Amino acid sequence: MSIPKTIELFERGKANFEDNKLDEALKDFSETVRLEPQNADYHAWLARMYLAKDKYAEALASANQALQLNPRCQLAYRQLAGVYRENKDYQKAIQNYSQAIQLDPQDWIAYYWRGNIYWELKDYEKALVDDFQYFRLCSDWEIKEISGSDAKFQMWHRAVYQHITKTLLPRLKIGDESYVRHSPCLMTWGERSDLRSYDGNSYTMKSLSYGTGYICLTNKNIYLFSIGQLSQQFPLFDNGFFKNFIAVGLGHIDRRLEKTDQAWTIPYHTVSGVQASNEAIHLVTPAMTWEIYEHFTGDLQSILAGINLGKSGRYSAREIASESTIPEPANMNVIDLLKQLGELKSQGVITEAEFEEKKRELLNRL
C-alpha cells in the first residue's frame, strides 16, 4: 500500500527541518497544507517553518489558522508564543507558552522559552521554576561552556564546565537530583572573631578562609565548590572586587587562601538563614556560615530567589505539575478563539462571511 502524498511530504519536511534545510522544509509543509488545508497540525508545522525563517506575519497567520481548525493544537500555541517573543510582546508570549504547557505538561521547549522570558523580565522565581522543569524533562540537555566577556575569564569558565560535567552531574544522577542553575561566585567561610588586647588597647581578630568557584542549585540541595585552581588564579582579595571589604576600625583579619578543592552539600532544610545585600549573600547553617559574592554575572538576586524556592519546597515536580494543569473556565478557549478569529479577519486570512459564520458557531458554545 502506497503512502499518501501528504504524509510523505509531512515526514520529509520534518526530516529537512531536523537537518536544518529550512527552505526545503518550508516548501514541503507549504505543499502539505495546500493538499490538505483542513489539517491543523500541518498549519502548525508550517507556522514553525515560518518562525524559523523569521517570517513572523506568515507564522502568526498559519498558527491562527491551525487554532481555528483545532483549538487544542498545542504546537500552534507554541508558535504563536514564539512570534510574540520575537516581537518582545512578552505577556502574550507567556500566555501562549502557558497554554501550550497546559495542553502538554511535558513540553520542555515551552518551559525553556518561557523561562528565558522570565529571566528577561527579572522574575527570578518563575524563571528558576521553569529552568527546573526544562532540565527535569529534557533528556539531552548539557551545560554549555560560556565565554567570559574578558579573555582572562575564559579559563574560569572552562574549569567550571569541566568540574560540572565530570564531578557534579554524575553525583546528581546517582542522587536522582535535577539541576536548576549554577552561578560563578567568590566565597568566604569558617569565619571566627576573637576580642584581643595589646598594650591596653582592644581589637577584634577575625579569621576566615576564602576561595573562588561556583554555587549550584538543584531541586534538593545547594552545592558550593571552591576550586583550588581558580582560587589561585582569581584570588578574592587581590582582584579589586572587594577593596572595601575591610571596614575601618574592624581590627585585624587573618585571611587564608584555600588552594585545594573544597565542596559542601547543603540540603535546603538545613539553611537557618539567608540574606542578601548589594555585595553578598549571607548563608547560614548550624554547621557553617558562608559569604557568597558575585563574580562577574550580577546573579546575587537570582541566587537568593533560588535558595528561597528550595527552602519553600517549590522545586517539587508534583507541586509544579499541579500548577501547570489548573483547568481554565469552560468558556476561556471560546473567548480566545473569538479574539483570534478577529485577527484572522483583520489580516485578510478569512472573509467577512466566514468570520460571521464561525463567530455564530463559537458563540453558541458559551
Domain of 239, CATH number, reads: 2.30.29.30
The answer to whether residues 247 and 204 belong to one domain is yes
pLDDT-derived band at 50 (thresholds 50, 70, 90) equals very high
Residue 268: pLDDT band with limits 50, 70, 90: very high
Q: For residue 347, what pLDDT is reported?
A: 57
261 and 309 fall within a common domain:
yes
DSSP H helical segments within the chain, as ranges? Answer: 5-18, 22-35, 40-52, 56-69, 74-86, 90-103, 108-120, 124-137, 154-163, 169-174, 228-233, 300-311, 317-324, 332-346, 352-363
Domain closes at, from 299, 315, 331 = 315
The set of cell numbers assigned to 301 is 538576586
Residue 100: per-residue pLDDT: 96
Quick one: pLDDT at residue 316? 78
Share of the chain above pLDDT 70, in %: 76
Query: Has residue 31 got a pLDDT over 80?
Result: yes
Residues 74 and 124 in one domain: yes
pLDDT score for 343: 67
Say if residue 167 is in the same domain as residue 295. yes
Cell numbers for 329: 473556565
**Domain check: are 127 and 200 in the same one?**
no
C-beta neighbour count of 40 within 10 angstroms: 19
pLDDT value of residue 362: 65
Last residue in a domain, options 85, 111, 138: 138
Residues 28, 172, single domain; the answer is: no
Residue 285 binned pLDDT confidence (cut-offs 50, 70, 90) = very high
Question: Band of the pLDDT at 44, cuts 50, 70, 90?
Answer: very high
Assess if residue 360 is contained within a domain: no
Report the CATH number at residue 100: 1.25.40.10
Are residues 106 and 157 part of one domain?
A: no
**156 closest CA partner among 189, 186, 187, 119:** 186
**Residue-wise pLDDT tens digits, 142-157:** 776 554 455 666 777 8
The letter for the amino acid at 344 is: L
The backbone torsions φ and ψ at residue 110, rounded to the nearest 5 degrees and listed phi first, read -65, -40
Residue where a domain terminates, one of 106, 138, 170? 138
In this predicted structure, what is the pLDDT of residue 306? Answer: 94
Domain co-membership, 178 together with 280? yes
Report pLDDT for 175. Answer: 86
Domain range for 129: 5-138
Domains in the chain: how many in total?
2
Comparing 105 with 338, the larger pLDDT belongs to 105
Residues 111 and 169 in one domain: no
Same domain for 13 and 63, yes or no, is: yes
* HSE-up of residue 332 (Cα within 13 Å, Cβ side): 8
Q: For the packed helices 56-69 and 74-86, what is the interaxial angle rounded to 10 degrees?
A: 150
Examine the domain organization and report whether 121 and 162 are in the same domain. Answer: no
With respect to residue 310, please indicate whether it lies within any of the assigned structural domains.
yes
